[in-house]
Chain A
């Protein structure tokens, strides 16, 4: 045994780091360690922002913790290595370099990785992803040398990267399988606002389109679509979602699906093992189902909740806390700000209240379920409504006679909140 920790955290992103911080604040002496394949905690969220890419802010702004922060907080940071095996019977983790660490409580916060592009030839140089620092650095190099780029996918990453690439004066073509942007999470009307902004910003869009061939020898020189359209490019940005590497815990007995399954306390089926952040497929009390989310704030709050529950398992004076939060995500690009909160997956029995102001180009869709409760919303240039809507989602607010008010942009939504 190389070392023993009261709390061992696998993953040094926002979930793992927030957990370590919370543990240290509440347990001054218990041993805490973070195992991470990266040098220290940085802002993953900055990776897709033009200010970072185009060097408008110093690179060092990306680091969210100083090197000395770990020592000051008595947190062992075991960096640039990976966990390779988990033995829940003996409560040990084996690292890639052979070291064995013993734990009393284990938190799995390993996050996810960019889903690989399943097209032959996608291993050519110039095919880039954006998930970690190394990938971001490769991408920056490619942006500097390329003249033409394609972006694959119709989500947050593609949208933000198209903006960055246009700011870097690249000729950009967006290729998506979907009939419109963000299908099926957005409706066509919202998607057209986004597509208009992309096109006005100089991005060429191919809808219902798929790449079937990647041209070039070692380096990408272009692609051919299924309808035989040829697009020249020296660089491809792939933004088609997230996947989790769970192979290393396959034999551990931990239940998993696409992510690691947990209850609302972020506990897995194996005692003393918790999961948080992008890797956790947790029981969402707001939606009433198991769900996996890939976003910063979710990971941050889950790291804190998992830490509280790890502390509570030692301390009878503490009670376990469930994770309950209306999740949301926001992004900016091409003069638009876009946000989604709660559950935005439409079902036939749901209805939508449209809250829009054509003059200001703003459009929110408030999604109401069969129980007459708001369960989600999408916002284009209406993020000012998000806080209130999230509170309405959380409080099981009944729409009833308030439909006209919700649809009226001149109505102050705060009036619908319960008086405090």
Chain B
């Protein structure tokens, strides 16, 4: 079982329903925090965690996932289809 953490997103009008962090892939580069410090922070294992899944808009969330140098952030739509990485 992969070491993953899932976060449900309930933001109104958003197409993204779930943010997933693959903790095996995450290396704590923190590029996601640079894009959206409202959404992510690093925990005591130097892994990214989501602190507010609804804090930002879809475009910024997408950018945060795209910016990850290890593709450790996965985004899913409201019905569970993976949007990123494609």
Contacts and interface: CB of A to CB of B under 8 A. Distances in A.
B44 A384 contact: yes
Given A332-B27, A337-B45, A43 B33 contact: no
A332 B35 CA distance: 21
B67 interface: yes
Contacts of B46: 330, 332, 337, 339, 383
B31 interface: yes
A212 interface: no
Contacts of A45: 27, 29, 69-70
B30 A330 contact: yes
Contact of B43 (A14, A297, A325, A384): A384
A409 to B, nearest CB: 11
A337 B28 contact: yes
A34 interface: no
A387 B41 contact: yes
B69 A328 contact: no
Interface in A57-109: 57, 61, 64
B71 interface: yes
A297 B29 contact: yes
Contacts of B27: 45, 49, 330, 332
A368 interface: no
Contacts of A64: 66, 69, 71
B20 interface: no
A46 interface: yes
Contact of A387 (B29, B33, B70): B33
B71 A61 contact: yes
Interface residues on A, range: 20 to 34
Contacts of A337: 28, 45-46
A18 B35 CA distance: 12
Contacts of A14: 69
A300 B67 contact: yes
Interface in B1-56: 24-25, 27-31, 33-35, 37, 41-46
A356 interface: no
Contacts of A44: 69
Given A46-B69, A46-B70, A61-B70, A297 B28 contact: no
A306 to B, nearest CB: 15
B85 to A, nearest CB: 9
Contact of A300 (B28, B34, B70): B34
Given A61-B70, A64-B69, A330 B29 contact: yes
A142 interface: no
Interface string B47-77: 0000000000000000000110111000000
Given A330-B30, A337-B28, A383 B70 contact: no
A296 B70 contact: no
Nearest to B24: A51
A384 B49 CA distance: 10
Given A383-B42, A384-B42, A386-B42, A328 B67 contact: no
A158 interface: no
Contacts of B24: 51
27 contacts: A18-B67, A43-B70, A45-B69, A46-B69, A46-B70, A49-B27, A49-B70, A57-B25, A61-B71, A64-B69, A64-B71, A296-B29, A300-B35, A300-B67, A330-B46, A332-B28, A332-B46, A381-B44, A383-B42, A383-B43, A383-B44, A384-B41, A384-B43, A384-B44, A386-B42, A387-B41, A391-B37
Interface of B: 24-25, 27-31, 33-35, 37, 41-46, 66-67, 69-71
Interface of A: 14, 18, 43-46, 49, 51, 57, 61, 64, 296-297, 300-301, 325, 328, 330-332, 337, 339, 362, 381-384, 386-387, 391
The 8 closest A-B pairs by CB, nearest first: A337-B46, A45-B69, A43-B69, A297-B34, A383-B46, A383-B42, A387-B41, A384-B44
